[in-house]
């Protein structure tokens, strides 16, 4: 009865979804692409081939990047596999296009009505479904179980907050979690919470994001930009969320950098260690908004998208850079002396800090890291990250580290060591998926 009522609600909500997609499409045209796929109507054929059809669902950008790490190991472990890749966001789909090989298919995840989910599974007939990190939908799980499609949750995480929410909706969500063939958790704490909500087979395989390798070309470009700045330190607000940029800008203004110091920077007097502030918003639809916020606050702003391989002369003397490009986080972390972790100063759960650590960039994080609790705790324990109570304390800590003293050098070394110490999840997950296919489908 609960699932029937939920199914009726999702069916009735379809016009609202179409309206939402039209609104989002104004800022991000990718949302207007192949809209009928959202409702289980596909023109793309099921991939042909002898090997298993592996369906990977990576809802957004972060999950897609984690899927990319896993996919490399899967192709090595299952060389005849074909990929069915689904997403929920335009940024995820754009990033996912880079992962497609010959014979692979990429479509939108269907909206969670019974009809759309049935049409999706009937059309593509995947041999296994691999959901990245958190994506559990009731009709999706019910219909997959009815068709004998094994479903696994990879790189799985479940915060205390999410567990409480799932328990409140237990009559609806517990059967969905119980329908999982397996969940491969990032940490023992995630595993315990997944067992609490009803997952029967849970193993701790680690966090795929530790297996990511920084892009060498972006690292080299970041080093060249650091040299072009002539010793001027760089403090980054990484993957910032709404409200955090305003907090940062207010703190910068409170520093009361006077006109004489500004003039000294523009005259390339390197004894002045006033930093360049680099803001990289989490969501692309906010890029222009954040640039406007910084200008309205009275800062000279340069936007990364307006130059190619070298900052313009005006950019070198600007107060604030806006990193409004996708796929260049390695470049930004390689440029920065220290990163303030976006999403952790507002009560939003933080962002992934592993990529920063892999680039040797120390991290200062706020009090809210519940979405990435294990990585944040391990990084803090390893000396790769420092936790503070609010943005004011974060700015003070970041400024001190940006002066490149012994504490900065120690944190940078600790970050590299931390990133290298937790690798291997991709190979373990690929082996586990191969075992599921062999056990449930008899596929080698």
- The catalytic residues are 63
Phi, psi (rounded to 5 degrees) for 88: -115, -20
Residue 349 near residue 368, CB atoms below 8 Å: yes
- Which of 102, 85, 103, 81 is closest to 94 using CA atoms? 85
The SS3 call for residue 329 is helix
The SS3 call for residue 378 is helix
Q: How far is CA 4 from CA 113, 116, 152, in A?
A: 10, 15, 24
d(CA 201, CA 182): 5
18 alpha carbon, distance to own chain's centre: 25
Number of Cβ within 10 Å of residue 266's Cβ equals: 12
- The tokens describing 386, both together, are 């420092």
Q: How far is CA 91 from CA 37, 96, 120, 198, 235, in A?
A: 17, 8, 22, 32, 26
- Going 345 to 351 to 353 to 355, the CA torsion angle's sign is negative
The two beta strands, 338-341 and 363-365, are: parallel
Q: Which residues pair with 301 in a beta bridge?
A: 320
d(CA 368, CA 356): 18
d(CA 132, CA 87): 10
Residue 157 near residue 135, CB atoms below 8 Å: no
- Which of 6, 36, 31, 34 is closest to 20 using CA atoms? 31
Tell me the HSE value of 383 on the side-chain side, using a 13 A CA sphere: 11
Contacts for 163 with CB less than 8 Å, ≥ 6 apart? 193, 196, 197
Residue 349 near residue 370, CB atoms below 8 Å: yes
DSSP 237-297: EEEE-TTHHHHHHHHHHHT---HHHHHHHHTT-TT--PPEEEEEESSGGGHHHHHHHHHHT
């Amino acid at each position: 009865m609960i699932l029937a009522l939920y199914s009726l609600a999702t069916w009735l909500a379809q016009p609202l979804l179409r309206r939402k997609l039209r609104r989002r499409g104004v800022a991000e045209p990718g949302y207007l692409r192949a809209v009928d796929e959202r409702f289980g109507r596909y023109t793309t054929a099921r991939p042909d081939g002898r090997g298993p059809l592996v369906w990977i669902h990576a809802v957004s950008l972060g999950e897609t990047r984690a899927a990319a790490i896993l996919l490399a190991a899967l192709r090595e472990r299952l060389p005849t596999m074909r990929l069915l890749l689904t997403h929920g966001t335009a940024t995820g789909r754009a990033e996912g296009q880079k992962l497609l090989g010959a014979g692979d298919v990429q479509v939108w995840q269907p909206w969670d009505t019974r009809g759309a989910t049935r049409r999706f599974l009937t059309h593509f007939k995947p041999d296994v479904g691999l959901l990245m990190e958190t994506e559990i939908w009731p009709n999706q799980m019910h219909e997959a179980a009815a068709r004998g499609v094994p479903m696994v949750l990879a790189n799985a995480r479940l915060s205390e907050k999410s567990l409480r929410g799932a328990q409140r909706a237990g009559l609806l969500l517990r059967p969905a979690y119980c329908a999982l063939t397996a969940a491969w958790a990032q940490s023992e704490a995630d595993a315990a919470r997944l067992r609490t909500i009803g997952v029967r087979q849970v193993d701790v395989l680690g966090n795929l994001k530790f297996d990511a390798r920084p892009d060498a070309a972006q690292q080299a470009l970041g080093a060249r930009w650091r040299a072009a700045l002539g010793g001027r330190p760089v403090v980054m607000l990484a993957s910032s969320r709404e409200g955090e940029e305003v907090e940062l800008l207010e703190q910068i203004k409170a520093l009361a950098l006077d006109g004489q110091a500004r003039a000294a920077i523009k005259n390339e007097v390197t004894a002045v260690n006033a930093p360049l502030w680099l803001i990289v918003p989490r969501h692309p639809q906010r890029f222009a908004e954040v640039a406007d916020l910084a200008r309205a606050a009275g800062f000279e702003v340069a936007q990364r998208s307006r130059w190619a391989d070298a900052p313009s002369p005006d950019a070198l003397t600007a107060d604030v850079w806006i990193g409004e490009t996708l796929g260049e986080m390695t470049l930004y972390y390689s440029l920065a002396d220290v990163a303030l972790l976006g999403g952790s100063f507002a009560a939003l759960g933080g962002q992934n800090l592993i990529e920063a650590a892999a680039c040797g960039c120390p991290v200062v994080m706020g009090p809210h890291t519940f979405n990435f609790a294990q990585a944040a705790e391990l990084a803090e324990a390893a000396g790769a990250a420092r936790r503070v109570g609010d943005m004011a304390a974060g700015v003070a800590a970041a400024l001190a580290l940006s002066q490149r003293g012994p504490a900065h050098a120690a944190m940078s070394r600790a970050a590299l060591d931390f990133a290298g110490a937790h690798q291997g999840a991709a190979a373990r997950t690929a082996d586990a998926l191969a075992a599921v296919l062999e056990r449930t489908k008899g596929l080698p």
